[in-house]
């Protein structure tokens, strides 16, 4: 425990200083009645177990009152740290990864870190290193497995790394943070099975990523465990027009028509809607449709989409918390982030075929 100044229990003294003089850590220490070491620990977020909570709050209050801002440039030189994290995601074509950034930046700000957002060009594929030296410019990286090629291009795997939506048994990162995608797919499958659907079409994202392989495997396993079910799969890039074309081709192919379309993403589901309307089929009377993400799009289409809600901001928060733990030599929190099926008007009882 850091030594506390003898005046701790007295009213906080007023620090006299010129209005043109920037407050120092010594001013904060004097105002809070603690040592400069205690100020350094609290404002550097390393006080837990060394400074009491009331003392830490007193230091923060004194810093706020005085308008104190640490000299980050000097501290970074002293600590050999830039307090900057890179977030590598696919191109921002939906609000999901904007939510991931918002959550990550919120946690980072509380710990005096900044977040640089790097969307991989074209969503996935080759990318050019935006830094003369990423290792010199950054303290760590948070990356989606959907942007793994970009991560390699900027040599992010040479830094402390947390992977999002990545195989926990084969991840490049020091830690992995996942949404419970498998449970989300189970919830979708159980919902449709409960409505009597036994012949499903899986509209899968045409992206070589662990998260989409996991969705396909879970859906296949769940249906395989239910007698009398059939599963067909078609793939498409995550665009509405590609999804429309893939769905239309699958539903006009020879053989019995599926009674439900399970989509890997809400944008794919919107494309499926277009295909069904072109074919003169109604949602959900003729075919039920489900998505995954719960984007704003899910309630913009008619009928509103049954989909799995993913908490993007919590995802970003957990990713940043895991990276901070890695940087601090601590074990990150374990366990996948829960997801929730949101049932809306796009699903109904299976029509007899």
Q: How many residues belong to the chain? A: 353
Q: Residue 210, SS3? A: helix
What pLDDT score does 1 carry? 39
Domains and CATH numbers, the chain: 6-70 (1.10.260.40), 78-179+313-327 (3.40.50.2300), 181-310 (3.40.50.2300)
pTM: 0.73
- CA gap 199, 283 in Å, rounded: 16
Residue 322 CB contacts under 8 Å (≥ 6 apart), including other chains: 162, 175, 177, 332, 333
Cis before 284 (ω within 30) = yes
Give 120-142 as a 3 state SS string: CCCCCCCCCCCCCCHHHHCCEEE
- Rounded Cα gap, residues 333 and 260, in angstroms: 37
Q: Which residues are within 8 A (CB) of 182 and not within 5 positions of it... i.e. 6 or more apart? A: 214, 215, 218
- In the numeric block, which tokens belong to residue 314? 């919590």
Full pLDDT tens readout for the chain, 353 residues:
344 333 333 334 344 443 446 788 888 889 999 988 888 788 776 777 888 989 989 988 988 888 776 554 444 434 446 788 888 887 655 689 889 999 999 999 999 898 988 776 554 444 455 554 444 467 888 988 877 666 666 655 567 889 999 888 877 788 999 999 999 999 999 999 999 999 999 999 998 888 999 999 999 999 999 999 999 999 999 999 999 999 999 999 999 999 999 999 999 999 999 999 999 999 999 999 999 999 999 999 999 999 999 999 999 999 999 999 998 888 898 899 999 999 999 999 998 76
Question: Going by DSSP bridges, is the β-strand pair 307-309/340-342 parallel, antiparallel, or unpaired?
Answer: antiparallel
Three-state secondary-structure class, residue 116: strand
């Amino acid at each position: 425990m850091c030594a506390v100044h003898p005046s701790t229990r007295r009213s906080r003294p007023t620090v006299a200083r010129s209005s043109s003089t920037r407050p120092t850590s010594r001013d904060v220490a004097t105002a809070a009645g603690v040592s400069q070491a205690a100020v350094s620990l609290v404002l550097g977020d390393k006080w837990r177990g060394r400074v009491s909570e009331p003392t830490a709050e007193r230091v923060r209050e004194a810093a706020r009152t005085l308008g104190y801002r640490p000299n980050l440039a000097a501290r970074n030189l002293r600590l050999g740290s830039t307090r900057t994290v890179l977030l590598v995601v696919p191109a921002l074509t939906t609000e999901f990864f904007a939510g991931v950034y918002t959550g990550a930046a919120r946690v980072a700000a509380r710990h005096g870190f900044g977040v640089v957002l790097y969307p991989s060009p074209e969503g996935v594929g080759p990318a050019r290193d935006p830094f003369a030296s990423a290792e010199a410019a950054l303290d760590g990286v948070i990356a989606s497995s959907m942007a793994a090629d970009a991560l390699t291009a900027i040599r992010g795997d040479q830094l402390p790394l947390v992977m999002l939506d990545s195989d926990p048994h084969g991840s490049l990162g020091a830690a992995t943070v996942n949404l419970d995608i498998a449970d989300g797919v189970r919830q979708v499958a159980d919902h449709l099975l409960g409505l009597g659907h036994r012949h499903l079409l899986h509209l899968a994202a045409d992206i070589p990523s662990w998260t989409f392989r996991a969705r396909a495997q879970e859906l296949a396993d769940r249906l395989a465990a239910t007698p009398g079910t059939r599963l067909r799969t078609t793939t498409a890039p995550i665009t509405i027009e590609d999804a429309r074309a893939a769905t239309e081709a699958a539903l006009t192919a020879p053989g019995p028509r599926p009674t439900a379309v399970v989509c890997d993403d809400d944008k794919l589901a919107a494309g499926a809607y277009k295909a069904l309307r072109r074919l003169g089929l109604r949602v959900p009377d003729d075919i039920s449709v489900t998505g995954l993400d719960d984007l704003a799009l899910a309630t913009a289409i008619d009928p509103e989409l049954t989909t799995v809600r993913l908490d993007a901001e919590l995802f970003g928060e957990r990713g940043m918390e895991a990276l901070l733990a890695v940087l601090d030599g601590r074990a990150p929190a374990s366990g996948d982030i829960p997801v929730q099926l949101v049932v809306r008007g796009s699903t109904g009882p299976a029509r007899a075929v």
